[in-house]
Structure 1
Amino acid sequence: MKTWSSIILAGGMSRRMGSSKALLEINVQTMVELLVEVLTPFSRKIIIVSNEKDYEYISSLFQQALHVQIVTDDPLYQGEGPLAGIYTGMKELQDSWYFVCACDMVKLHPNYLVGLQERLHTEIVTKRQQYDAFIPYSEGRVQPLAGLYSQQKETIKKLLDQNKHRITEWLTHMNYYRIEPSEWQGWTPISDVFFNMNKPEDYLQICRERGK
């Protein structure tokens, strides 16, 4: 069942990696293609927020995928980080709920998304409390780039207009459900499902694990 739209943040400069993380290949597929494959069964639409440098190439990868849309950051907030990318995705793609992830989340597992889907449905059906988001907690902190969010473009716009660019500042303006490890670890067999490939050695590690 398709429950939300998904926003893939692929607009960063990948300075620590040294090349575009969205276009790194794992077993002949780019990272962004792998994520679209994982997210498609759950997503009504998928929007990839790209930087201008990679826009044409990423667009060429999804010419036949009608459920995938590629954009660059809203001109007002170009280059202002992940929060600007989330705003762009919510502005360009209208929906009630959005799954937001970074383009380098190579270990994102479908079972985690199934659990997230069930948690959302449980809260909606029982109407126990109105949450603005569902965000996992891991390694002593929340993981906002693996969370599920309601439509909040106006709130984000106000923050960006005040030169507040941190996602943590956005979180202070919402009532979110913190998904504890005791819950999400029951959803997925992957212990480090929120792993990010930030450096070349991270990429090499994944290539070794995947047998590339």
Structure 2
Amino acid sequence: MVRNNLLSAVILAGGNSSRMKTNKALLMLEGQTILQIIINQLASYFNEILIISNTPEKYLHFKLPVYRDIFLNQGPLAGIHSGLKHMSNPYGFFVACDMPFFSPELALELLSDLTEYQAVVPQKGKYLQPLHAAYRKDCLPQIERVLQEQERPKIISFYELINIKYLDFTQRPAREWDQVFFNVNTPEDYELAKRMKMERFALGSQKRTGC
């Protein structure tokens, strides 16, 4: 089991938001930006939270360290690399900035296996969730090798070079996979996210009132 004081959380706020046509991290849900929702959730579990973005000026008001990619124009793997490079702890949970319903409890579950594995990634069938995953700092040499040898490599390009565990979601409720890993990529996704947020709020209110 990994001790909490060895954990960092890294929010990946890169990408061009080409389908959304606006900054996804700063979209509002129930009066808060998606990024603030993620930060609030992480703050209860992690004493170090970093943001990785090549436009750091957009995120300074969140009062968190913001770092650029070291390997420029190399896609999200470069963001993971920068996060691992800059985090002060040996174990990190990485989450995309457009995942408002991510699970910090699942994050801790993923991190708990990093004493034995260099990375723990959720999997369901052929689908992986590399942007809601746990990575150890000692993945850096393998990631750097891939970034140096390939142009805009896929995130999973370094997986075959490390000791990795895939957390199987096959037997878990489909709703958990669909909600936790929901990405706000398009205007339609954003409208759906607003409805999902309202439903979750209503469900929480019912539980608090005992209805």
TM-score of the superposition, structure 1-length normalised?
0.82
Distance 1:92 1:163 in 2: 22
1:72 partnered with 2:68: yes
* Correspondent of 1:31 among 31, 34, 45: 34
Whole-Å separation in 2 of the counterparts to 1:58 and 1:72: 12
1:143 matched residue in structure 2: 129
Of 10, 29, 46, the match for 2:49: 46
- CA distance in 1 between partners of 2:41 and 2:125 (Å): 24
Q: Secondary structure at the match of 2:43?
A: helix
Tell me, which stretches of 5 or more residues in structure 1 are unaligned? 63-67, 125-129
Question: CA, structure 1 residues 189+209, in 2 after alignment: closer, same or farther (shift >3 Å)?
Answer: closer
Structure 1 counterpart of 2:44, which letter?
A: P
Supply the AA of the counterpart residue of 2:99.
M
Please identify, of 166-175 and 137-146, the stretch whose mean Cα deviation from structure 2 is larger: 137-146
- Does the 8 A contact of 1:12 with 1:51 survive in 2? no
- Give the match for residue 153 of structure 1: 140
Identity over aligned residues, as a percent? 31
Say whether the 8 Å CA contact 2:123–2:166 is kept in structure 1.
Answer: yes
Other-structure match for 1:61: 62
Residues 74-133 of structure 1, C-alpha deviations (whole Å, 9 max, x = no match): 2xx22211110111111122321111111111111233234334x43xx74xxxxx3111
Quote the offset at 1:143 in angstroms: 1.1
Contact residue 17 and residue 23 of structure 2 kept, 8 A: yes
Over 3 Å counting, the alpha-carbon distance change for 1:201 and 1:139 in structure 2 is farther
125, 131, 135: which one pairs with 2:117?
Answer: 131
Match of 2:14 in 1: 11
Structure 1 equivalent of residue 187 of structure 2: 200
Q: CA RMSD in A?
A: 2.3
In the alignment, the residues of structure 2 paired with residue 93 and residue 19 of structure 1 have an alpha-carbon distance, to the nearest angstrom, of 28
Q: Write the letter of the residue equivalent to 1:56.
A: E
CA-to-aligned-CA distance 1:138-186 (integer Å, 9 cap, x gap): 2532211111111122221121111252112111111111111157x38
Q: Alpha carbons of 1:2 and 1:34: their partners in 2 closer, same or farther (altered >3 Å)?
A: farther
Structure 1 pair 2/182, CA: closer, same or farther in 2 (3 Å)? farther
| 1:161 aligned counterpart, secondary structure | helix
Question: How many residue pairs get matched?
Answer: 193
Cα gap change, 1:189 to 1:115, in 2 (>3 Å): farther
Unaligned runs of 5+ in 2: 200-211
Q: TM-score, normalised by structure 2?
A: 0.82
Q: Distance in 1 between matches of 2:54 and 2:122?
A: 27
Q: 1:177 aligns with which of 139, 147, 165?
A: 165
Shift of 1:71: 1.5
